[in-house]
Structure 1
Amino acid sequence: MTQVQVKRLAYIQIETEDVGAWVVFARDVLACEVVQGSNDREAWLRVDDRPWRIHLTTGPRNDIVVLGLEADCLEDVEAMHARLAEAGHAVRGGTAEECRARGVQALRHFVDPAGLAVELSFGSLVRPQQPFHAPVAHGGFVTDTQGLGHVMLVVENVAEVQRFYCGLLGFTISDYVSTRDYGGRQGDFVFMRCNERHHSLAIGFLPIGRRLGHLMLQVREFDDVGHALDRVHRHGALQTRALGRHINDRMFSFYVRSPSGAQIEYGWGGLEVEEASHVVRTYDVTSAWGHQHLTK
């Protein structure tokens, strides 16, 4: 019997004081497609054949405000709704208007133990007749069954949040990192998966004053990491971590600061987990090599 669970990261919503700057950064540095109708108050970004994957809205928080998760069927959405309610979490069904706005067949709203708004949906609109069109020469992003990418969320109550996502939404722990030198400070992180991608969600505490530590976008072609790094320097964006390869998911990547302050990891070659043979491990470094922190 198939386990009832979230199957992928569908989308995120970021509130930023400068939507216009974010749009320029996403288009000119990250190679995202800006959806027609976007403006300086609200914008949508594409990375595949979905109508959008990143929703930018105007506000003072400069942080993630919605985490969009996706199930494979309505029955799974309803089962997780019941599971959440039984555990004492308030769940609200999305209205027809909200479903149309998100481009989904069904939607549930709730809040995780760290206070982040979560949306659970299924049946997302896809537009293969309108393929992703990158604004620069680009081989595309790894999404499809693996979802948007991954997010690293900064939370104070790590154990409670981990139990929430694993116990109620069906995530599985891939591994842990506990290091004394995460940019000169202690870093303890839990990495969780919901499909073959090594992790769609990581959590840990860092004293950075925001919920979104980073968003990872994975490219299909190795050279697109290098081309993106060239664009970072050409457009004057701030690279925050050097090129490197993570020790757990094997991602070859670098990090760059977005206009709202959160980092974007831009990577290639992430590990796809084989469930039958995967062993949960703890590592005491984040990277096999590289990824030096370039800013304080």
Structure 2
Amino acid sequence: MIQELSYVGIASPRAEEWRSYGTDFLGAMLTEDGPDGAVRLAVDDINYRIAIHPGTEDEFRYAGWGLANETDLRAYVDQLTEQGIDVQWGDARLCRERQVAELAWFCDPWGLRHELTWGKAALPLSFRPGRAMKGRFVTGGQGLGHVVFEVPDIEAANKFYSSLLGFRLSDRIIGDSFHVRFYHINGRHHSLALSQNPGHIGFNHMMLEYEEMDDLGTAIDLQAAHGVETMQTLGRHTNDLMTSTYVASPSGLQIELGHGGLVVDDLSWVARTFHKPSYWGHKRPTGRTSRPGILKALD
């Protein structure tokens, strides 16, 4: 019953750098700070979808998943509770901070926090890109974009997210050194992906999709002026056909900036297995060997 990836929250000692990074480079709109001074960014008429909280270290805080209404939220919480998931209801203060009508939250088996909400605040015709753009970000019924988590055991994670939470498999990519599963909850090819990384758990990247290829190209042109490092060069994925590049952010995680992703239809969609992630491109710059993302080693 989850309808969309609604919002994402991280923490960082470089939160302030997101004011210019988010607007002048990404093209998002700066909105009112959170109660703790969190930098908030809008990518559409939803009041904000990305929050960067002040923190002593780079840290994933939460992913917010939107449901259609209060009836769906309460039914979904009841369903999760019956399956043994410890779901807590957020208080009025937390709902005001997230700007939602109601909120419940839980942590997955590896400690990643997920918030379930309905009624995210919005103001029609309020979005103004932070830089000149030909189009907008692809959101609407497809939600914010997608997030990718690294998990130590892909089969256990698949059981939790698919069987218990109801994420629907779009396809998977399996190679000699990687195993990634992709899940949809609406027309977007995937709002969630899980990548196996034994011994680690964390937030690998977040994807934002531009309506227009020219706006992706402009972002690539702006990288040098803003000192934004390329993590993977421009390329096209095999499974969702997204043309994209991966860039560094001020806070550890990488951002995938894309255009032209597939839209899936559950009535006709058949999950496939791919053995390489890209038709072309998506190369790591010479000398880059470290894994991007906000990761932590498991004890």
Matched, 1:77 2:68: no
Match of 1:199, SS state, is coil
1:253 shift after superposition: 0.5
1:144 — aligned with what? 140
Distance 1:70 1:50 in 2: 12
Query: Which of residues 39, 42, 45 in structure 2 aligns to 1:46?
Result: 42
Q: After the TM superposition, which of the residue ranges 147-156 and 39-48 deviates more from structure 2?
A: 39-48
Q: Which structure 1 residue ranges, 5 or more long, are not aligned?
A: 181-185
1:25 — aligned with what? 21
Query: Which of residues 233, 238, 244 in structure 2 aligns to 1:242?
Result: 233
Query: Which of residues 27, 30, 34 in structure 1 aligns to 2:30?
Result: 34
Runs in 1 of length 4+ with deviation above 3 angstroms?
Answer: 36-41, 206-210
Opposite residue 103 of structure 2, the aligned amino acid is L
Distance 1:87 1:21 in 2: 41
1:94 — aligned with what? 90
Distance 1:116 1:14 in 2: 12
**TM superposition score normalised by structure 2:** 0.91
Opposite residue 134 of structure 1, the aligned amino acid is P
1:168 shift after superposition: 2.6
Distance 2:183 2:36 in 1: 35
Match of 1:128, SS state, is coil
1:129 shift after superposition: 4.4
What is the aligned residue count? 286
**TM superposition score normalised by structure 1:** 0.92
1:183 — aligned with what? none
Distance 2:198 2:129 in 1: 35
1:120 shift after superposition: 0.1
For residues 115 and 85 of structure 1, do their structure 2 counterparts lie closer, same or farther at Cα, with a shift above 3 Å needed? same
1:209 shift after superposition: 6.0
Opposite residue 272 of structure 2, the aligned amino acid is R
2:293 — aligned with what? none
Distance 2:253 2:199 in 1: 9
Distance 2:98 2:204 in 1: 24
Q: After the TM superposition, which of the residue ranges 98-107 and 193-202 deviates more from structure 2?
A: 98-107
1:177 — aligned with what? 173
2:120 — aligned with what? 124
Opposite residue 169 of structure 1, the aligned amino acid is L
1:193 — aligned with what? 184
Distance 2:77 2:172 in 1: 28
Kindly provide the CA deviation profile for residues 214-265 of structure 1, in whole angstroms up to 9, marking residues without a partner as x.
1000001111110000111221110110100000001001000111111100
Matched, 1:289 2:284: no
RMSD: 1.8
Distance 2:159 2:64 in 1: 18
Opposite residue 210 of structure 2, the aligned amino acid is V
1:233 — aligned with what? 224
1:38 shift after superposition: 6.6
Kindly provide the CA deviation profile for residues 182-231 of structure 1, in whole angstroms up to 9, marking residues without a partner as x.
xxxx1110100000000000001237966111100000111111000011
What percentage of residue pairs aligned between the two structures are identical? 38
Distance 1:258 1:39 in 2: 23
Kindly provide the CA deviation profile for residues 70-101 of structure 1, in whole angstroms up to 9, marking residues without a partner as x.
11122221122112212222111121222222
Verify the 8 A CA contact 2:25 2:131 in the aligned structure 1: no
Q: After the TM superposition, which of the residue ranges 73-82 and 282-291 deviates more from structure 2?
A: 73-82
1:163 — aligned with what? 159
1:33 shift after superposition: 0.9
Verify the 8 A CA contact 1:94 1:108 in the aligned structure 2: yes
Distance 1:30 1:207 in 2: 32
Distance 1:154 1:270 in 2: 22
